[in-house]
Amino acid sequence: MGKRYSKKPTLKNKLLGINIERVFLTFFILLFILLIISQIALTNPSIRAELYMNEEIEGTPLKSEEFLYKHGELTLKSLGKGNKQDAKILVNGDEKAVFLDDEITIKVRNGDIIEIDGSELSDYIDIIVVSKSDNIKTDCLGQKFRIKSQVKKIIQVKIE
């Protein structure tokens, strides 16, 4: 019978076989540990605030769903001699507009709460609802509100 030649493992075969497996295993373990550390870090609010840069993503409506809401328009007029620029119109607690002119028109949706922030006013200012779109059910046309140094709820919008 013939001689059998035994293949001796060469250095090249050892490097390619064993070490690549070890490298992949080590790499996987390190990535897994890094994933766990990052998830633990994100549960801490102070660390999350430092790591998470884009805060405006949270709390904004999806653009594709905006067509589901019916819009209406309200026109408010400021009366009086006071500094009307200090009166702010709030929609659901967020500043929507400032009285740069005597009249201002704002877009509203069903359920919106309209408030006037007069906390910076030094004198009284009167706000009157001069017009509304036809789809707004709330009976607010012609209503007058007197505001000084306060935040006052004026309307909760109901749209058909």
What residue segments make up the domains of the chain, in order of their start? 12-51, 67-156
User: What is the pTM (predicted TM-score) of this model?
Assistant: 0.56
Q: Residue 22's pLDDT band (boundaries 50, 70, 90)?
A: confident
Is the alpha carbon torsion for 142, 146, 149, 154 positive or negative?
negative
Partners of 75 in beta bridges? 105, 131
Q: What is the arithmetic mean of pLDDT over 8-34?
A: 80
Task: Choose the weakest-confidence range: 56-70, 73-87, 96-110, 137-151.
Answer: 56-70
Instruction: Give the helix, strand, coil percentages of the chain, each rounded to 5.
Output: 30, 30, 35
Residue 100's pLDDT is what? 83
HSE, side-chain direction, 13 A CA sphere, residue 70: 12
pLDDT over 80 (residue 8): no
